[in-house]
Amino acid sequence: APGGDVDRALSERGLRDAAAMGRALAARGLKPDMALVSGARRTRQTWDQVSDHFGDVELRVSDSLYNASADTLRRAVEAAEDEAGCLLLIAHNPGVHQLAVEYLIESAASPSVLDKMSGGFPTGAAAVFTVDVAGRLSYEGWLTPETL
């Protein structure tokens, strides 16, 4: 396929799951004012589905988020966090999974939560964290398309 993995489209299930996640996040009051989205086709398609539920959001699409490491993703989040009250990151495993585990450890999440996350970060999942003014992380929850 021209472009290979970066041009791979979401499946019909992926499109449905993304729309359901957008509804679920919005229903919980999680409406980002900024989204950092990998330049890959399927992450842009994910954004198209979830964004229907959010209103105005500043969109930043970056090829540097494609298959990025946890460190690269963390730097992108930290660079944007002063501009965004609620930030959404749509990127790829294993970097997203590794970053979520790092955030869980930093937030002193319970062993049961860490254990659940250590099994992997399912496609279409969302981990929700808040950051206080001192930069301390708190784990707020975890959603997967299967749990909606």
Helix (H, G, I), strand (E, B) or coil at 80: helix
pLDDT given at position 135: 82
CATH number, domain of 105, equals: 3.40.50.1240
Q: pLDDT tens string for the chain (148 positions)?
A: 456 889 999 999 999 999 999 999 999 999 999 999 999 999 999 999 999 999 899 999 999 999 999 999 999 999 998 899 899 999 999 999 999 999 999 998 888 888 888 888 888 999 999 988 788 889 999 899 998 8
* 36 CB-contact burial (10 Å; exposed 0-12 / middle 13-18 / buried 19+): buried
Count the residues in the chain: 148
pLDDT given at position 2: 55
**67 phi and psi angles, rounded to 5 deg:** 50, 35
pLDDT given at position 117: 83
**5 phi and psi angles, rounded to 5 deg:** -60, -35
For the chain, the domain total comes to 1
> What are 38's strand-pairing partners?
62
What range does the domain containing 132 cover? 4-147
pLDDT given at position 92: 94
- Are residues 41 and 66 in contact, defined by beta-carbon separation less than 8 angstroms? no
pLDDT given at position 133: 79
pLDDT given at position 118: 80
